[in-house]
């Protein structure tokens, strides 16, 4: 039986399932994954709805190439209106769930309404059943997946699930699959919890049809060789994304004690080599030849025994540098806890670091924190806050609502110390010495973000001729320069939109590896997989279309140019530490404004960041049913 590229509308309120084919035109315009999800997000959700109401819709979408044996092509995109920010909610997850969903006969799920009691979706070979999940409610993310497999007596079932944080409507609860994979950002687990949807379990034994299977298999082998021959991939295979810490911390590009410093002094135990004592091997996602994830064991301590996967570079910052903890073991325990509870690593680390600085400055008191002394480097306080946030207990209940709500409750004086953009926490990086990375986090459609446009190769000091070849225009090789950086951000933004839409891993494209697959390779993979001829110019236009429709969604929800900015500390406080190239840096406000103007121009938006009528017409977005142009000046 040949797999058909279908979508299913699932109405939880009325327990009704409707199946349809995905229109071919939609494929050509948005590809899949994040692209089609962005289209549905804009067209299926009414303006200004409450993200926790049944009116919010949850979209699960496979990338166009999900299921091919190359470049980590096992990725799936999950979207809804974000309960954390009120903006585009979108998160991408790897592992094995996406390919299994395709083998079961579906590429996209559109989930509406709210079940009257806890349920999970059981999907197998073209059929979808809404199943009682009362016995799963209260289970952590690991227990839930294990129990579902036991219920159906099938160890091959792949599930995405929420933990207690999603059930308790923590606004940055995530969705988890397997031991490590997380749709981490923007609170998609909270949306699942608001719908009483505990999990989606999938088992598929159908076929996946490729247009040119033999040529595709040969080309996939070439792509895997291409990526594994890079120094970046070889380093990842040994150390995972932790390898980034070796460079950023030494240079002075890492956020420490919230934002007070840009280098963790005495942080040697967080170096990737120190994972050797815990690691028992490396693992990877579907279609991945890199295998960048540690499998580790903790046999001692109050939380032992722990068998887990990770941590990522992000977790190293969230539970290490940002909160002043200097032990790898602390990071490993915290990483396990947030995965168990189902919480976004970065968001919880960011808001705890903020609370610790507020404590230090006397803005928070013991009375407000349930008697906890939020001292830097106190791992027991860190673990307890993670638990309290997950269960919404006491002070944790406040922090569980995210920055925007917490600032309003604690007071205006706390806002200056909140390292957030559009309501979402920044990565544990310090972008004051790197204007390109600063512009990227300011303009990302889902809030402060390192996965929407980050031109990490800007840090390499590459020859300007090579940069011009990559980006199609003049770019300075000095990462502290402002020249051409808007072009870098714009180009990477389009590339990453397409990467998310085809379902491959960003680490296996031009993220940290210069000579990794990009437009031309994507074009050939798409042709061999589905027979669509989409050369580089058309793919770039698709990236523009995805980014623009997300921009339209945010404009409709009240966001504007004023939100494409940075925390005030970026402009006021110079970096105190690091190499001479990174020390003493702030973001120049006037140069930042010029970069933002250039960025809008590259997108062909007006000087307020609003897509022009001409741009909408060119992208085919001018006739969308929900595109009320009279509201675009909001």
181 φ, ψ to 5°?
Answer: -65, 130
Cα angle 398, 401, 403; round to 5: 95
Residues 518 and 627: their CA atoms lie apart, in Å, by 31
- pLDDT for residue 626: 45
Q: Which among 403, 425, 447 is the end of a domain?
A: 425
Question: How much of the chain exceeds pLDDT 70, in percent?
Answer: 98
Q: Which among 425, 443, 472 is the end of a domain?
A: 425
- pLDDT for residue 624: 59
Residue 413 forms part of a structural domain: yes
Residue 421 and residue 440 in one domain: no
Average pLDDT over residues 268-289: 95
* pLDDT(629) > 80: no
Residue 467 forms part of a structural domain: yes
Measured in whole angstroms, how far is the alpha carbon of residue 68 from the centre of its chain? Answer: 22
Mean residue pLDDT across the chain: 95
Residues 303 and 296: their CA atoms lie apart, in Å, by 14
* pLDDT(592) > 50: yes
Residue 492 and residue 610 in one domain: yes
Tokens 């240079």, located at residue: 251
Residue 234 forms part of a structural domain: no
Residue 79 and residue 33 in one domain: yes
Residue 360 forms part of a structural domain: yes
Question: How much of the chain exceeds pLDDT 90, in percent?
Answer: 95
CATH of the domain at 618: 1.10.599.10
Q: What is the pLDDT of residues 90-137, one digit of tens each?
A: 999 999 999 999 999 999 999 999 999 999 999 999 999 999 999 999
With bands split at pLDDT 50, 70 and 90, how would you rate the model's confidence at 246? Answer: confident
94 and 180 in contact (C-beta within 8 Å)? no
Residue 216 forms part of a structural domain: no
With bands split at pLDDT 50, 70 and 90, how would you rate the model's confidence at 302? Answer: confident
CATH of the domain at 163: 3.60.9.10
Residues 470 and 391: their CA atoms lie apart, in Å, by 47
Residue 209 forms part of a structural domain: no
Residue 575 and residue 486 in one domain: yes
- For the chain, what is the domain count? 3
Residue 51 forms part of a structural domain: yes
Residue 328 and residue 465 in one domain: no
* pLDDT(634) > 80: no
With bands split at pLDDT 50, 70 and 90, how would you rate the model's confidence at 301? Answer: confident
- pLDDT for residue 174: 98
235 and 292 in contact (C-beta within 8 Å)? no
190 and 183 in contact (C-beta within 8 Å)? no
Residues 426 and 353: their CA atoms lie apart, in Å, by 11
With bands split at pLDDT 50, 70 and 90, how would you rate the model's confidence at 4? Answer: low
The parent domain of residue 45 ranges over: 6-203
CATH of the domain at 319: 1.10.569.10
Q: Which among 203, 223, 255 is the end of a domain?
A: 203
Residue 254 and residue 273 in one domain: yes
Residue 59 and residue 174 in one domain: yes
Residue 418 and residue 470 in one domain: no
Residue 161 and residue 35 in one domain: yes
* pLDDT(10) > 50: yes
Helix (H, G, I), strand (E, B) or coil at 17: strand
Omega prior to 386 cis, within 30 of 0: no
Average pLDDT over residues 178-206: 97
Residue 309 and residue 351 in one domain: yes
Tokens 């010029």, located at residue: 594
Residue 25 forms part of a structural domain: yes
Residue 390 and residue 254 in one domain: yes
Residue 134 and residue 14 in one domain: yes
């Amino acid at each position: 039986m040949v797999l058909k590229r279908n979508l299913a509308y699932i109405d939880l309120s009325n327990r009704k399932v409707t199946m349809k084919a995905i229109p071919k035109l939609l494929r050509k315009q948005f590809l899949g994954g994040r692209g089609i999800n962005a289209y549905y997000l804009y067209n299926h959700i009414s303006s200004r709805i409450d993200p926790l109401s049944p009116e919010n819709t949850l979209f699960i979408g496979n990338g166009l190439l999900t299921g091919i044996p190359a470049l980590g092509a096992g990725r799936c995109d999950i979207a809804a209106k974000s309960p954390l920010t009120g903006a585009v909610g979108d998160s991408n997850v790897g592992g094995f769930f996406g390919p299994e969903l395709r083998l079961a006969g579906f590429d996209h799920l559109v989930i509406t309404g709210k079940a009257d009691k806890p349920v999970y979706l059981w999907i197998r070979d073209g059929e979808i059943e809404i199943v009682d999940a009362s016995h799963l409610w209260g289970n952590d993310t690991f227990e839930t997946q294990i129990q579902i497999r036991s219920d159906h007596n099938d160890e091959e079932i792949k599930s995405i699930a929420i933990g207690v944080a999603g059930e308790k409507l923590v606004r940055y609860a995530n969705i988890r699959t397997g031991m490590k994979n997380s749709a981490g950002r923007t609170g998609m687990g909270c949306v699942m919890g608001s719908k009483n949807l505990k999990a989606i379990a999938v088992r598929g034994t159908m076929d996946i049809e490729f247009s040119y299977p033999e040529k595709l298999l040969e080309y996939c082998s070439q792509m895997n060789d291409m990526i594994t021959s890079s120094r970046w991939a070889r380093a990842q295979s040994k150390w995972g994304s932790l390898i980034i810490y070796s460079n950023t911390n030494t240079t002075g590009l890492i956020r420490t004690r919230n934002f007070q410093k840009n280098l963790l002094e005495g942080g040697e135990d967080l170096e990737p080599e120190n994972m050797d004592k815990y690691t028992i091997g490396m693992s990877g996602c579907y279609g991945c030849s890199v295998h960048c994830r540690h499998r580790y064991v903790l046999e001692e301590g109050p939380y032992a025994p722990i068998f887990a996967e990770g941590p990522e570079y992000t977790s190293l910052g969230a539970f290490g540098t940002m909160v002043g903890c200097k032990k790898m073991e602390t990071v490993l325990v915290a990483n396990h806890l947030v995965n168990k509870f189902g919480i976004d690593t970065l968001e919880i680390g960011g808001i705890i670091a903020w609370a610790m600085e507020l404590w230090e400055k006397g803005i928070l008191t013991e009375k407000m924190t349930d008697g906890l002394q939020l001292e830097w480097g106190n791992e027991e306080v860190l673990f307890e806050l993670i638990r309290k946030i997950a269960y919404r207990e006491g002070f944790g209940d406040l922090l569980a609502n995210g920055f925007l709500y917490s600032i309003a409750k604690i007071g205006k004086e706390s806002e200056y110390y909140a390292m957030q953009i559009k309501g979402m926490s920044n990565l544990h990086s310090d972008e004051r010495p790197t204007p390109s990375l600063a512009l990227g986090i300011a303009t990302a459609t889902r809030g402060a973000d390192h996965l929407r446009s980050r031109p990490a190769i800007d840090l390499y000091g590459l020859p300007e001729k090579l940069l011009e070849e990559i980006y199609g225009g003049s770019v300075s090789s000095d990462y502290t320069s402002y020249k051409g950086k808007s072009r870098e951000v714009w180009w990477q933004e389009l590339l990453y939109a397409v990467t998310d839409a085809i379902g491959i891993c960003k680490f296996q494209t031009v993220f940290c590896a210069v000579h990794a697959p990009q437009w031309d390779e994507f074009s050939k993979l798409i042709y061999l997989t589905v027979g669509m001829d989409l050369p580089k110019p058309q793919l770039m236009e698709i990236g523009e279309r995805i980014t623009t429709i997300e921009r339209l969604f945010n404009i409709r929800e009240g966001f504007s140019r004023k939100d494409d900015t940075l925390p005030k500390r970026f402009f006021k406080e110079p970096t105190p530490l690091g190499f001479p190239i990174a020390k003493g840096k702030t973001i120049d406000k006037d140069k930042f404004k010029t970069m933002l103007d250039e960025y809008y121009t590259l997108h062909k938006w007006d000087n307020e960041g609003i897509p022009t009528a001409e741009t909408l017409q060119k992208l085919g977005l001018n006739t969308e049913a929900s595109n009320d142009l009279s509201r675009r000046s909001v």
